[in-house]
Amino acid sequence: MARDEAISHATLALRDTPRWALATADNDLRFPRAAETFSCALNAPVSSEDTPYLYQLLRRSLTDAGLATYAAKNFYVRTRPLVVNQAPICAPDAEPLKKDGSYPSGHSAVGWAWALILSEMAPERTDALLARGIAYGQSRVICNVHWQSDVDAGRLIGAAAVARLHADPLFLADLDIAKRELAAVRAKGLKPLRDCQTETQTLATHP
């Protein structure tokens, strides 16, 4: 808990910075916006028009990884940092979060699952994708909605969810089609729709 509180206190200094704005964007799991989250790290657009199979793969794995955290969430019902420190958050509505368990982080599970899946699809982009997956989880700490240990546990669950998905023939079939779809996008030379230079500079910011 001492480690969690120290990291939480340090990240509060990022409020109203570009890193806070990126954490706010990372908070939004709604599609189509969420589909673009890893596009810079992937160096390819991700949308229902350009990559429909990959788009659906991310939507489905969001459900798998995110819901995998709820048995632990409902068991531990850990108090979130926003309740303890009363500091602002980057999520639009604090009230539902106050009633939802903090441990483990569902967003972090989703972000790490996406990073692993995309790394399998584009192994040459593994370093960038995993770094973005880590940053995605850290956005939850910066947002003041999760403790660091919530995020760490979320990544573990995200990895376990991906391992379980590899026993599902439907997932493997979709993954294979999405790989070929991504290769076709790369052959066309299509680039991400996000401002990747700004995102890279922002992710280099640390408390």
Is 146 assigned a catalytic role?
yes
- Which of 107, 132, 155, 174 is catalytic? The answer is 107
Is 206 assigned a catalytic role?
no
Long-range contacts of the stretch 36-39 (C-beta < 8 A, 24+)? 36/192, 36/193, 36/194, 37/111, 37/114, 37/132, 37/136, 38/114, 38/115, 38/118, 38/129, 38/132, 38/133, 39/192, 39/193, 39/194, 39/196
Is 140 assigned a catalytic role?
yes
Q: Count the Cβ atoms, other than its own, within 10 Å of residue 142.
A: 29
Is 16 assigned a catalytic role?
no
- Which of 132, 140, 155, 174 is catalytic? The answer is 140
- Report the distance separating Cα 1 and Cα 24, nearest Å: 25
Closest CA to 108 of 163, 205, 29: 29
Instruction: Give the chain's end-to-end CA distance (angstroms, integer).
Output: 19
Residues forming the active site: 107, 140, 146, 150
